[in-house]
Amino acid sequence: MKKGFGQTDRTDPWWKGPTAMGAYLGIMLIYATWRGFMEADFWIFSEFGYSADIGHGAGTMAIENTGSHVLSPLYSPLIIPGGDSIGSMVPLALAWMSPAMFILVFPAGFRGTCYYYRKAYYRAFFQQPTGCAVSKPWNEYSGETGLLVVQNLHRYFMYAAVIYLPILAWDFWLSINFHDPVTHAHSFGVSIGSLLLFANVMMLSGYTFGCHAFRHVVGGGSNDWTSSSAARFKHRLWKWSTKLNEHHKDWALYSLFVVMFADFYIWMCTDPMFGISDIVLIGGF
Ligand code: FES
């Protein structure tokens, strides 16, 4: 084999995949970090177009109590120290933290330790390896030892990711419940924002239930698929997870895009800089 970084006997454009992946993951990472720190413009209320900057959003917070909003998945579940529900358990001393910082550790940990993403970013960012049968800048290979043993936490991040799904589904439900901020009248409606939240739950479900660790949890230790209805049910679950798993890469990449795009849309609708508001397609006020 040829020696030296990037040298190879391969004749195909092997570098295209890792390069595209590096650009895609890099953009997503920068965007999510930027938005997580921004701490503003992450939800749309029933009188669409309101900005919800926490610092100035007292009026809009009152509307939040009526349960009508389109909340960015990057900020869900919404934890505001000293606020309602979960927020009341968080000390006010942490109020300097963006609500996104409390929750992103789980989805980020889930994706960061995902078997597919590991393949992608080991190549794209760390040249470990550079590609199959392509020479890399160094010779050592120590596997996932040292700091990288943390990758073994993937299964636990998967448990957390499963818990997020009903929370995100609940966000979708809230987004189709419109409340008039003045009269408090209620009506159902569907906006582009709510459709994006729906797409987000579906894509994340496809990604999470096709996870290798999930597939192992439902069927990994089984050598009996038929003797009881519970065993048959397990088999069906495992087959379903296997179907999703076969396209795990696609679920991983597209679901990431949908999360970010849903957030971007909500940002556009709440920041006057963009000059647009959420489009209600059906019902609403
Ligand atoms: S292997 Fe990709 S999410 Fe578990």
pLDDT value for 285: 66
pLDDT value for 89: 84
Q: Which residues contact 113 (CB under 8 A, 6 or more apart)?
A: 150, 151, 152, 153, 154, 157
Higher confidence at residue 178 or residue 244? 244
Higher confidence at residue 86 or residue 204? 204
What is the pLDDT confidence band of residue 258, given thresholds at 50, 70 and 90?
A: very high
Higher confidence at residue 23 or residue 139? 23
What is the pLDDT confidence band of residue 46, given thresholds at 50, 70 and 90?
A: low
Across all residues in the chain, what is the average pLDDT?
87
Three-state SS sequence of 110-127: HHHCCHHHHHHHHHHCCC
Instruction: List ligand 1's pocket residues with C-beta within 6 A.
Output: 114-116, 154, 158, 211-213, 248, 252
Distance 58 CA to ligand 1 centre (A): 40
**Rounded percentage of the chain residues whose pLDDT exceeds 70:** 89
**Ligand 1 atom nearest residue 114's Cα:** 2
Distance 218 CA to ligand 1 centre (A): 14
- The span from the CA of 193 to the CA of 11, in Å, is 46
Which of the residue ranges 79-88, 144-153, 231-240 would you say has the lowest mean pLDDT? Answer: 79-88
What is the pLDDT confidence band of residue 57, given thresholds at 50, 70 and 90?
A: very low
pLDDT value for 182: 67
What is the pLDDT confidence band of residue 24, given thresholds at 50, 70 and 90?
A: very high
